[in-house]
A and B are shown apart, each in its own frame.
Chain A
């Protein structure tokens, strides 16, 4: 896509919008948008989150360590890191989780989806739509909304806590299974709370569907997992709406990461085409048929079609996915009976393993190489926010241009909201926000 349009003729007028430190996102980043004669001239999503070098210090560590070590990349979605790394390593040591272990992994992942989606919908994104600086201030006028959000979020966290031991950096996931499987009795209290969550999630879909959305659609290339019969979490092929349909192990043949000067997070792109979009919109639009009848019905009542190309409506889709995750969690608990063995035994092996799972923000790819002793010789980790960075810049390019007449302060807020559509996790992407408005050379910062 060409971003080099210029207004021909006339005196050139410049303006720049800067957000120095973007709020209500996870991690440190900012935004620079330069305007010339009312046209967007440049968009940079600046990421200054300090690099933490995970891929480097994983070298020489044991093959059993990535679930605990890579969880520390992100405090909001540690389960995603534990799942992608576990699947990658298990493909090296040659083990396949049993059906029950597989279901239990889905259950803890559902917990993380609920906790992460509700945090973003009610605490981070809804205040933009309703015009508040934050959820605390929003709670003064909408106490019921915020309290229900906190309650639903807590129920998601309870799932993670019950199976994983704690909400942030849970300790129970290991290669081959779990350190200690929960008993059916331990999962029963979750059932009552999840029944309550089901009503809260239905309400969340209705509330978010009632928000006002800017008319804005993009011709995205959506990339996500697709599974023969499930809404995707841990397994499936990597697919897109523009022709990609590959095994997880072929990821690096089709996608590449490149470094840009304004970001400590690498930018991922499709080799042949460039920017692509991962996350709830992609999953929903390519897997509508895999949602439960209840989630499909809720989406339709919310006015959504089977696909959605308006990134602002991601807030409704996160709510639909939350509803789905609550139902799925109930189903898994209902069918659960504790197996005899907590995990499958394994021993080190030399090889290369790939893992790709659906983090709340989109696909998270891990690749490891190990030697005969089981020591890691090479690691590659591609988080969802690295993959969405180019798309976020692209969205802003088109979105900001529609609102150039707005006062700087309002324009900034709108652009921030557009970035938050992606629920960016900057800490993840570096293993990333501040906005600058530059209008015809006049720079204002917030």
Chain B
């Protein structure tokens, strides 16, 4: 019988901190096993070797912020059978999407003496705004467990088993005391997508929304709780929603409601 060809894995980077693709190299116990069953065909952070497409699985990190990158993602989509965007930059535009609420020209002149040398788009946008995305892994950064599950599911030709409930549910599963009720600490847990295993509340701090909005989040109710029960100001609420997932629809909308 003919041996089956190893599926080709490609990892792509757009505007980002490299942390989500580093998650793959941080899988110290699984990395060599993964490399045994897939061909790492394009992963510049790890290898000089570049194999030509098409690729069976493309992991895309980062957001689209330049005209050149908007073109590049289309080419990558054409070469990819499955395309998965990984992390808050790729799924929501990342922290660099804070430019979307301001004038990018003004931002350019704060950082660069010659803004005219810099080619950038006015908005930082997620991958799904440009091409069809087969699956999204949330988080700033993504979870190692979810990444390994995603690759396993792809190899097993099944849907990844990744929950879409809130961080609140993860707190209950861990048996955490609610930081909002017990310590009066503002927490985004009720509206934030699971994946971190309720990390911040386990460290006595409120969730700050690394995994972005959960399905059907009741953000207005949470803001009401923050301002009435915890005397949070409108500015506090705007800042809380405007971090790594600022341009995700539910967070974007809620922050705008509280803008002065």
Task: Determine if A134 and B49 form an interchain contact, defined as CB atoms under 8 angstroms apart.
Answer: yes
The 8 Å CB contact of B29, one of A65, A154, A416, is A154
Whole-angstrom distance between the Cβ of B178 and the nearest chain A Cβ? 16
Which residues of chain A from 238 to 285 have any CB-CB distance to chain B below 8 Å in the complex? 258-259, 261, 264, 266
Q: B44 and A21: CB pair below 8 A? A: yes
Q: Nearest Cβ in chain B — how far from A428, in angstroms?
A: 8
Taking a contact as CB atoms under 8 Å apart, the answer to whether B110 and A53 are in contact is yes
Q: In the complex, what residues of B have CB within 8 A of residue A123's CB?
A: 25, 46
Instruction: Give the distance to chain B from A175, nearest Cβ to Cβ, in Å.
Output: 12
Please tell me if B153 contacts chain A, counting CB pairs below 8 Å: no
- What residues of A have a CB within 8 angstroms of the CB of B205 in the complex? 171-172, 174, 179-180
Q: Are A154 and B14 in contact (CB under 8 A)?
A: no
Q: How distant is the Cα of A180 from the Cα of B206 in the complex, in angstroms?
A: 12
Q: Are B49 and A26 in contact (CB under 8 A)?
A: no
Other-chain residue from B120, B199, B200, B202 in contact with A50 (beta carbon distance below 8 A): B120
CB distance from A71 to the nearest CB of B (A): 8
In the complex with contacts A52-B15, A76-B22, A57-B40 CB distance below 8 A? no
Chain A residues, Cβ within 8 Å of B48: 23-24, 127, 133-134, 413, 416
Which of A52, A57, A61, A157 gathers most chain B CB within 10 Å?
Answer: A52
Interface string of A47-59 (1 = CB under 8 A from B): 0011111011101
- Which one of A143-151, A200-208, A350-358 is at the interface? A143-151
**Nearest CB of A to B42, in Å:** 10
Contact with A along B16-55 (1 / 0, CB 8 A): 1111101101101101100100001001111111100000
Closest to B107 in A: A56
Q: Which of A53, A157, A179 has the most CB of B within 10 A?
A: A53
| Contacts A57-B98, A136-B35 given; does A264 touch B118 at CB 8 Å | yes
CB distance from B65 to the nearest CB of A (A): 4
Count residues of chain A with CB under 8 A from any CB of chain B. Answer: 65
- On whether the beta carbons of A56 and B110 are closer than 8 Å, the reply is yes
Cα A50 to Cα B99 with chains together (Å): 13
On chain B, the residues within 8 Å of A137 by CB distance are 47, 49
In the complex, chain B residues 97-142 whose Cβ is within 8 Å of any chain A Cβ: 98-99, 102, 104, 106-108, 110-114, 117-118, 120, 140-141
Q: Mark A152-176, 1 if CB is under 8 A from B, else 0.
A: 0110010000000111110110100
Are the C-beta atoms of B44 and A23 separated by less than 8 Å? yes
Please determine whether A168 and B26 come into contact, CB atoms closer than 8 angstroms.
Answer: yes
Known: A24-B46, A26-B45, A68-B243. A50 touches B14 (CB 8 A): yes
- Interface check A31, CB cutoff 8 A: no
Q: How far is the CA of A72 from the CA of B209 in the complex (A)?
A: 14
| A55-B110 contact given A26-B18, A75-B141, A264-B118, CB 8 Å threshold | yes
User: Provided the pairs A123-B46, A136-B40, A416-B48 are in contact, do residues A51 and B112 lie with their beta carbons within 8 angstroms?
Assistant: yes
List 16 contacting pairs A-B, 8 Å CB cutoff, sorted by A.
A23-B48, A49-B15, A55-B110, A56-B102, A56-B107, A73-B17, A123-B46, A136-B32, A137-B49, A146-B32, A165-B199, A169-B141, A172-B203, A179-B203, A259-B113, A261-B117
The 7 closest A-B pairs by CB, nearest first: A75-B19, A134-B47, A56-B107, A133-B49, A154-B28, A57-B98, A52-B96
Query: Known contacts A51-B108, A166-B141; can you find 9 more A-B pairs with CB under 8 A?
Result: A25-B45, A53-B98, A55-B111, A56-B102, A75-B20, A124-B46, A136-B46, A169-B140, A179-B205
